[in-house]
Amino acid sequence: MTPGATRAQGSYWSELSGIYRIITTINAVTTYYQQPQGTVLIVCDGEATLTKSMNQWTSNPLDKQFDIIHAIKAGIRQTKITWKSKHIKGHQEQVALLLCDKARWNDEMDKVAKKHWEHIQTNPDPPINSLLGKPWELWLDDKKVSTTVKSQLLEHTCGQAAQNYWSNKTRFNGMDTKSIDWTAIHKVVTGMTIKQRWWTTKFVTRFCMTGQRMHQWGKRETATCPHCKHETETMVHILQCLHPGVQTISDSCIKDL
């Protein structure tokens, strides 16, 4: 069973969990029967999963799912078993008539996993099992954090405080911050270049070099729009300025989008 909340599940997390269960089971069997030696081959269609969990390097706390990767490596170190891994392409039955045993077993396991996933969609989150060999556990709001630790810690410690700060600055115009799709905003921002992020941050916090700001900073004698001579050039005014030259530039930029 893959630990963690349903919202944290994914193919990478499930594959790591499968490898962890294999190693834990083999270790228990070899200990019970006092057969500490042998060779085990783990086959998986997730190349990144095998690379992160089965290599000889020390686990990196910055890796996603660091806790289970660390537990896997701890399980490997506990025995004298020789552990080997092999990457195999997934879903081969869709393109090949004859499959080797490993490819066939992999496809069969995928089908079983999908059926199980469909089943748990209509059920509450499964109980969260503890991981042997894990370095630590992180819980936020009674939920175990199993991925994106840095961003979730930042959101938990600073997210509401930041929203309250900008609400007090009337940046949300009375809108409930819970109604804002922060996930969509994050997706857009991470797709920007660094210069685009700088400009967007200045724009939404109203710190661009508008006539109003330049006048406040003592860089201009007035806050007047240099194009249409409107009394105050603000960020909103720049978007709505009716001067022909501004309209031409605005239309060209929109067309490039």
Cβ–Cβ < 8 Å for 47, 128: no
**Residue among 18, 132, 149, 32 at smallest CA distance from 77:** 132
Span 129-148, average pLDDT: 74
pLDDT at 78 over 80: yes
pLDDT at 151: 81
158-187 pLDDT, tens digit per residue, is 988 888 887 787 777 667 777 888 889 888
Both 129 and 165 in one domain: the answer is: no
Residue 154 located in a structural domain: yes
Both 27 and 114 in one domain: the answer is: yes
Residue 172 located in a structural domain: yes
Q: Phi and psi for 42 in degrees, rounded to 5? A: -105, 125
pTM, rounded to two decimals:
0.57
Both 126 and 197 in one domain: the answer is: no
pLDDT at 224 over 90: yes
**C-alpha pair distances (Å), 32 with each of 28, 36, 40, 79, 195:** 6, 10, 17, 13, 60
State which residues form the domain around 215: 181-257
Residue 142 located in a structural domain: no
Residue 89 located in a structural domain: yes
Percent of the chain with pLDDT over 70: 88
Q: Which residue has the higher pLDDT, 193 or 3?
A: 193
Both 59 and 118 in one domain: the answer is: yes
Residues 6 or more apart whose CB falls under 8 angstroms from that of 30 comprise 36, 38, 79, 81
Both 86 and 165 in one domain: the answer is: no
- How many domains is the chain built from? 3
Residue 1 located in a structural domain: no
The two structure tokens encoding residue 256: 């490039």
Task: Give the torsion sign (CA, 122, 128, 132, 138).
Answer: positive
1-41 pLDDT, tens digit per residue, is 566 555 556 678 788 888 998 999 998 998 888 887 889 99
Residue 82 located in a structural domain: yes
Both 127 and 24 in one domain: the answer is: yes
pLDDT band for position 97 (cuts 50, 70, 90)? low
Cβ–Cβ < 8 Å for 147, 9: no
Span 95-110, average pLDDT: 75
Both 110 and 54 in one domain: the answer is: yes
How would you write 54-101 as a 3-class SS string?
A: HCCCCCCCCCCCHHHHHHHHHHHHCCCCEEEEEECCCCHHHCCCCCCH
The residue type found at 52 is K
Percent of the chain with pLDDT over 90: 16
Both 11 and 132 in one domain: the answer is: yes
Both 111 and 163 in one domain: the answer is: no
Both 16 and 128 in one domain: the answer is: yes
